[in-house]
């Protein structure tokens, strides 16, 4: 990645980092000024000491939750994209499934998490399904909107030039889905972390930040609770940044007038 593009990505992070420092400072001053007991609200220093003392367990939990999030996120995004393409290609599929899809979102994920545990058992499978469900609906709706936004005259022009159905999808429809798709992925990136925690609360047989939170709450370990919350916030930020990096790689024309080497080879191929 060129340095100038790296600077463009890092400079916007200075503001959020400054805001984070202000929040930590306000947190510390509030604890000191109002003499808040540690079991109610630990200071940032106490929370950090707990992170260092229990680093091994927290790191293992972070890895477990990140694995659940990543696999479920990819599964939900892929299924949502394919579902949207199928609904766009066949009208009757869209007319039948779209109302069902909308109605299904009225049911909270946490309400069906227990049923998923009964159907799929304890372990990774129900957690992946919960995370995938969080990602699935935003991806379907946004990709479908992108496919429907393609200009009809453009489609007719490509057909008149002998373009096949696959060529129309690859060179006309697919690029139209990029912007709404990545908007949905950015929105789902942080929500998926919540889905991973819900899955660990209901169907986890191993470690994870969700299980760590439950244990810390049951022991009234407020410092441990805030430590796990900090790791979950870090996971949410990392997931959001991963989506931004992926968007940067897939849509080079949004940041540069020159396509990158690998993208030039891709788009240079004939239909």
Architecture of the domain made up of 47-248: Orthogonal Bundle (1.10)
Give the mean pLDDT per block of 10 residues along the chain (271 residues).
62 77 94 92 95 95 94 95 90 83 81 86 89 93 91 84 86 90 92 91 80 90 95 93 90 65 52 48
List the chain domain ranges. 47-248
Q: What's the pLDDT score for residue 171? A: 87
Please give, one letter per residue, the 3-state secondary structure of the chain. CCHHHHHHHHHHHHHHHHHHHHHHHHHHHHHHHHCCCCCCCCCHHHHHHHHHHCHHHHHHHHHHHHHHHHHHHHHHHHHHHHHHHHHHHCHHHHHHHHHHHHHHCCCCHHHHHHHHHHHHCCCHHHHHHHHHHHHHHHHHHHHHHHHHCCCHHHHHHHHHCCCCHHHHHHHHHHHHHHHHHHHHHHHHHHHHHHHHHHHHHHHCCCCCHHHHHHHHHHCCCHHHHHHHHHHHHHHHHHHHHHHHHHHHHHCHHHCCCCCCHHHHHHHHCCC
Q: What's the pLDDT score for residue 216? A: 92
């Amino acid at each position: 990645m060129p340095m100038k593009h790296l600077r463009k990505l890092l400079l916007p992070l200075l503001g959020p980092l400054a805001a984070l420092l202000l929040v930590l400072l306000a947190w510390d001053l509030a604890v000191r000024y109002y003499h808040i007991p540690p079991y109610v609200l630990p200071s940032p220093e106490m929370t950090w000491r707990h992170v260092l003392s229990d680093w091994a367990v927290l790191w293992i939990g972070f890895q477990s939750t990140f694995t659940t999030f990543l696999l479920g996120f990819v599964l939900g995004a892929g299924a949502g994209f394919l579902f949207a393409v199928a609904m766009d290609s066949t009208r009757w599929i869209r007319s039948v499934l779209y109302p069902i899809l909308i109605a299904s979102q009225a049911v909270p994920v946490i309400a069906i998490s227990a049923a998923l545990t009964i159907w799929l058992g304890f372990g990774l499978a129900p957690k992946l399904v919960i995370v995938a469900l969080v990602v699935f609906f935003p991806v379907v709706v946004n990709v479908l909107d992108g496919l429907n936004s393609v200009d009809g005259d453009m489609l007719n022009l490509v057909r008149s030039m002998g373009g096949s159905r696959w060529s129309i999808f690859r060179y006309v429809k697919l690029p139209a889905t990029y912007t709404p798709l990545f908007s949905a992925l950015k929105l789902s990136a942080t929500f998926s972390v919540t889905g991973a925690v819900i899955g660990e609360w209901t169907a986890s047989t191993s470690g994870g930040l969700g299980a760590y939170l439950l244990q810390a709450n049951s022991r009234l370990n407020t410092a441990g609770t805030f430590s796990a919350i900090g790791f979950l916030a870090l996971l949410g930020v990392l997931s959001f940044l991963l989506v931004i990096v992926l968007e940067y790689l897939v849509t080079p024309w949004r940041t540069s007038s020159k396509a990158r080497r690998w993208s030039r080879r891709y788009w240079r191929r004939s239909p």
